[in-house]
Amino acid sequence: MAPDHAPTPDLPLTAIDLVERAADLLLQSQYAIALTGAGISAESGIPTFRGKDGLWTKHGEPPLNQFEQFASDPTQWWQDLRRRRENPDELTRAITAAAPNDGHFAVAELERVGVLKHVITQNVDGLHRAAGTQAITEIHGNRGYLRCLDCDSRHPFDELPEALPPRCDACGGLVKTDTVMFGEAIPRDALRACREESERADCMLLVGTTAVVSPAADFAWQIRSRSFPLIEVNLDPTVISSHCQVAIHAPAGEVMSRLLDRVKRGLRTDD
Ligand code: APR
């Protein structure tokens, strides 16, 4: 049941008080989910997209017709990708070398102790899975996988066949990397899962995202519109900060570790 009052943002408190408040909201929830973005992987050495050192800030966003370019000549696109993977650029090297950090491990542990029911991540780096998160939807795909454009079946990237462009074993459809390109629709199965999880949620924990990209950010607004609390853990204030019951502006690794400790302490006293 939605609370009968619209939550109002807390008064400015110290970060510790805010962590206490965030933990209380998670402990009171029946179905809390998380929405994560590039900021949770920043402490793993992967650059974010926006903000002063962001990839898009430095190099501009990729062309909006990225997917159209792929579809117009998949063979050429796959040959270019194979060449790029043989001579990886700085970003590819950073992602390939990255390991989960305290933020990812805290998210996985919050799931293990039964507080977080699902993670929607915008990241394609696979670090949540590597940290042990099981209930996850990678709404923008996972760079370690291939995906069939016709039947959505996915296979590890290592299974890429020699013959280009790769065709789906199951249905013969055209196969691309699972990472969602600019101009490409979010895969149907991922969108359906996000909708179902958001409709069940009575609390959302946003970690490391500017919350400006649809449809990912829409799920946060949808939960907020049903008067359920949003909790933000992000280095900088964002467009959604003032709509969050609790907004903690500090590095995710430190905050998420403290949040996990406080939640586990709360679970012990609830026993
Ligand atoms: N801890 C917490 N937050 C951090 C940290 C950190 N150590 N470092 C950076 N941040 C925050 C930044 O303040 C910023 O608000 O992470 C956020 C990252 O925002 P974006 O770069 O916009 O990344 P994201 O929100 O994931 O972008 C969404 O946009 O272009 C698309 O496909 C791309 O999935 C991406 C989507």
> pLDDT digit string (tens) for 73-96?
999 999 999 898 889 888 889 899
Q: Which of 140, 207, 235, 238 gets mutated to test ligand 1 (max ligand atoms within 8 A of its CB)?
A: 235
pLDDT tens digits for range 222-237: 999 999 999 999 999 9
Separation between Cα atoms, residue 180 and residue 208, nearest integer Å = 19
pLDDT at residue 260 in the model: 98
Torsion of CA 23, 27, 32, 34, to 10 degrees: 20
pLDDT at residue 63 in the model: 87
Range 11-40 average pLDDT: 91
**Ligand 1, atom 16: closest residue by C-alpha:** 39
Q: Enter the tokens of residue 196.
A: 């179902």
**Ligand 1, atom 11: closest residue by C-alpha:** 39
**CA 213 to centroid of ligand 1, rounded, Å:** 10
Only one residue has tokens 């008064």, namely: 11
The SS3 call for residue 219 is helix
Residue from 48, 77, 57 nearest 181 by CA: 77
**Ligand 1, atom 23: closest residue by C-alpha:** 38
- pTM of the full structure: 0.93
User: Which atom of ligand 1 is the closest one to the Cα of 56?
Assistant: 30
**CA 19 to centroid of ligand 1, rounded, Å:** 20
**CA 50 to centroid of ligand 1, rounded, Å:** 6
pLDDT at residue 13 in the model: 57
Separation between Cα atoms, residue 41 and residue 170, nearest integer Å = 34
pLDDT tens digits for range 153-196: 999 999 888 889 999 999 999 999 999 999 999 999 999 999 99
Only one residue has tokens 């609370």, namely: 3
pLDDT at residue 91 in the model: 82
**CA 230 to centroid of ligand 1, rounded, Å:** 17
Q: How far is CA 237 from CA 45, 62, 133, 211, in A?
A: 21, 25, 26, 11
pLDDT tens digits for range 28-61: 999 999 999 999 999 999 999 998 889 889 888 8
Only one residue has tokens 């998160």, namely: 133
pLDDT tens digits for range 90-143: 888 989 999 999 999 999 999 999 999 999 999 999 999 999 999 999 999 999
Ligand 1 pocket residues where CB is under 6 Å: 37-39, 42-43, 48-51, 54, 122, 140, 208-210, 213, 234-236, 238, 251-252
Find the distance separating the first CA and the last CA of the chain, reported in whole Å: 24
**CA 73 to centroid of ligand 1, rounded, Å:** 31
Containing 122, the helix (H) or strand (E) segment is none
- Rg of the Cα atoms in the chain: 19
User: Which atom of ligand 1 is the closest one to the Cα of 50?
Assistant: 21
User: Which atom of ligand 1 is the closest one to the Cα of 123?
Assistant: 34
Instruction: Give CATH for domain 13-60+100-141+186-270.
Output: 3.40.50.1220
Q: Is 140 a known active-site residue? A: yes
Question: Catalytic: which of 128, 140, 155, 243?
Answer: 140
Sheet holding 154-156, edge to edge: 154-156, 145-148, 175-177
